[in-house]
Amino acid sequence: MPFRALGLDPKILQAVQDAGYTEPTPIQSGVIPKILEGQDLIGIAQTGTGKTAAFTLPILTKLVPIIGDGSRRGTRALVLAPTRELAVQIEENVRAYARHLPLRVATVFGGVGERPQIDALRAGVHIIIACPGRLLDLMNRRCGDFSGLKFLVLDEADRMLDMGFLPAIRQVVKSVPQQRQTLLFSATLSKEIESLTHEFQRAPKLVQIGRRSNPAETVTQLVYEVPKHLKPALLAHLLRDTSLNMVLVFSRMKHGADRIARRLEQEGIRTDTLHSNRSQNQRLRALKDFKSGAVRVLVATDIAARGIDVDGISHVVNYDFPMHAEDYVHRIGRTGRAQAVGDAISFVTPEDQDELRALERFIGRGIIRKKAEGFNYAQAAQPSDADSGKRKPSNGFRGQARSQKPIHPGMKVPQPSNQSRTQKTQGGRFRPR
């Protein structure tokens, strides 16, 4: 089904065409007609499936008459997002899809001066993309006019709940008109999300694409088993391959991210960092340089797992293995987006084996083990090779080089091709949040 069959305004279709999109993704095909019909909606889909366009395109279509009349009758659409990075990404997409419209849009989030945001809200904007905390603060100071609000979007609602934003969200929702269209997007339909839909929506339609535990099929997943002290050297070794041309590296700790970046810079690899100790301007500049190719590697903590929407990321590297299986799915969803292909590489130390087995049960498949060609796994620890996360010590891999076994009877496990790989998928225990 082409975009023109979905009922979008011609000016929006022209912007979609300008962006190079030809056919909608499944989540877009599923939700756009329902939003245009005026229904409340729950959209469940994994990262990288085009959720932003799924709600932005129909909202813009329904706002075209208002945007075009030049009036300043207050905000008509409010999008709540969990992180500053995601808010900025949504704003960029909104501006791209509204490029043929005189749209007024503003972002509202903490970490930057509030005066420009106050001025924008008081001047009047059609769409606000905001993080709940700063928005509630400005609303309590009577900034902005929400009396004519028609659309409320809760984007990545599960993440906002995880971050403790529910009280602020409730206060925001109480301050906007009840007669509105409410759209909620999440990667999972948990009991908490279902409760939220009953509280904020009226007879919402559900559109669910895939399962939360399924990473995108376009992402090739690999595990490199490596002693903890060799992770810095292994990362530098892998990055000598120029096919790793736009790489997002995940570190567990902020100081670990800085240490990884310093090591890579010493190797002559242009690198920047993204974590909460950096100012908003530094974070935005890091993202801009990463997008433009000015830096090849971006080292981030999990704050970026949902906030980065960058086309063309070739590889995601889990330098520190995630503590929770769902975080793994979000991390590797930064590559292989919108049907593109990508690789997800995870460094697994002896201490990470339980989490690895739990992850494989969670996603219902084994992950291929791989050895880095030409890398010396017998190197001794160097003083500069401290790991970025502190975990309990271990003397070696448990059960290394076992034969491949499926997790469940009849389950197919990927077989290696011209490479020596092993798999272990038995046992382990997933740590709940």
In tens, the pLDDT along 19-39 reads 888 889 999 999 999 999 999
Phi, psi angle pair for 205, to nearest 5° = -85, 140
Instruction: Specify the CATH number of the domain 3-209.
Output: 3.40.50.300
Average of pLDDT values for 78-107? 93
Whether 213-433 and 3-209 are alike in CATH topology: the answer is yes
pLDDT digits (tens, 9 = 90+) for 217-274: 778 999 999 999 999 999 999 999 999 999 999 999 999 999 999 999 999 999 999 8
- The residues, ordered by sequence, that sit 6+ positions from 364 with a Cβ below 8 Å of its Cβ are 213, 214, 407, 408, 411
Q: What pLDDT is stored for residue 383 in this prediction? A: 54
Helix (H, G, I), strand (E, B) or coil at 58: helix
Do β-strands 205-209 and 315-318 pair in parallel, antiparallel, or remain unpaired? unpaired
Is the pLDDT score of 350 beyond 70?
yes
Domain 213-433 = CATH 3.40.50.300: yes
The full set of domain ranges for the chain reads 3-209, 213-433
Apex 89 CA angle, 19 and 198, nearest 5: 110
Q: Among 63-67, 149-153, 167-171, 197-201, which is the least confidently predicted range?
A: 63-67
> Which is nearest to 247 in space by CA: 332, 184, 177, 328?
332
Query: Bridge-partner residues for 41, per DSSP?
Result: 183, 205
- Calculate the CA 264 to chain-centre distance: 24
pLDDT of residue 37: 96
CA distance 176 to 149: 7
Give Cα separations from 211 to 123, 162, 215 (angstroms).
42, 19, 9
Residue 404's pLDDT is what?
38
Q: pTM score, two decimals?
A: 0.62
DSSP string across 342-378: EEEEEEE-GGGHHHHHHHHHHHTS--EE---TT--TT
